[in-house]
């Protein structure tokens, strides 16, 4: 009696992998908006022209909230001394711009402390960030 040899199937069933991939896609789509973090600052609305910089370097961003906490980018600083130290570490050129985002309810002294800390670190180019002023839903130029 002759035995028939079976051939091995070389097909891979990918349907379970597609199901897992779709579930992961849905999970990432739902959770991605929740991962958006940032510093909540209510910028003052000012009627002024925007300033363009010729410098090709990315500016350093200092944030100041209403409680007087300082941020360099998204990183919270313990005090103004730490802010000055971190700016001097990240400052690549004295002409690198420093952008300051101060909450409209922040005390003026906090903003001036941030400017002084940046100057002590060696920065010389500053810009203050604000929202564009609007009148009746129209942006004022």
3-state secondary structure the chain: CCCCCCCCCCCCCCHHHHHHHHHHHHHHHHHHHHHCCCCCCCCCEECCCCCCCCCCCCCEEEEECCCCCEEECCEEECCHHHHHHHHHHHCCCCCCEEEEEECCCCCHHHHHHHHHHHHHCCCCEEEECCEECEECCEECC
Task: Let me know if residue 69 belongs to a domain.
Answer: yes
Q: How many domains does the chain have?
A: 1
Structural domain range at position 52: 45-135
Mean per-residue pLDDT of the chain: 80
* pLDDT tens track for 61-73: 999 988 889 999 8
Closest alpha carbon to 39 in 61, 9, 17, 21? 61
| Beta-bridge mates of residue 126 | 98
More confident residue, 95 or 45: 95
> Where do we find the tokens 């973090």?
37
C-alpha radius of gyration, the chain, whole number: 27
Task: Let me know if residue 18 belongs to a domain.
Answer: no
Q: What is residue 71's predicted lDDT score, i.e. its pLDDT?
A: 92
Task: Let me know if residue 24 belongs to a domain.
Answer: no
* pLDDT tens track for 102-121: 888 888 889 889 999 999 98
Task: Let me know if residue 14 belongs to a domain.
Answer: no
CA angle 63, 66, 68 (to 5 degrees): 65
Over residues 41-55, the mean pLDDT reads 64
Task: Let me know if residue 127 belongs to a domain.
Answer: yes
% the chain with pLDDT above 70: 78
Task: Let me know if residue 111 belongs to a domain.
Answer: yes
pTM for the predicted model, two decimal places: 0.59
Cβ neighbours, 10 Å, residue 38: 8
Task: Let me know if residue 62 belongs to a domain.
Answer: yes
Q: What is residue 136's predicted lDDT score, i.e. its pLDDT?
A: 45
Read off the CATH number of the domain in which 49 is found.
Answer: 3.30.420.270
Q: What is residue 93's predicted lDDT score, i.e. its pLDDT?
A: 80
Most confident of 12-26, 93-107, 120-134: 12-26
Task: Let me know if residue 123 belongs to a domain.
Answer: yes
């Amino acid at each position: 009696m002759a035995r028939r040899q079976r051939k091995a199937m070389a097909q891979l069933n990918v349907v379970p992998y597609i199901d897992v991939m779709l579930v992961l896609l849905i999970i990432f789509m739902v959770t991605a908006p929740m991962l958006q973090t940032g510093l909540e600052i209510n910028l003052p609305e000012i009627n002024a022209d925007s300033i363009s910089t010729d410098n090709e370097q990315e500016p350093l961003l200092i944030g100041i909230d209403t409680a007087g906490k300082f941020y360099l980018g998204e990183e919270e600083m313990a005090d103004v001394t730490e802010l000055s130290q971190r700016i001097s570490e990240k400052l690549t050129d004295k002409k690198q711009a420093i952008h300051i985002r101060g909450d409209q309810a922040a005390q003026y002294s906090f903003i001036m402390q941030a400017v002084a800390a940046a100057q002590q670190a060696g920065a010389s180019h500053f810009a203050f960030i604000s929202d564009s002023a609007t009148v009746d839903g129209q942006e004022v130029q």
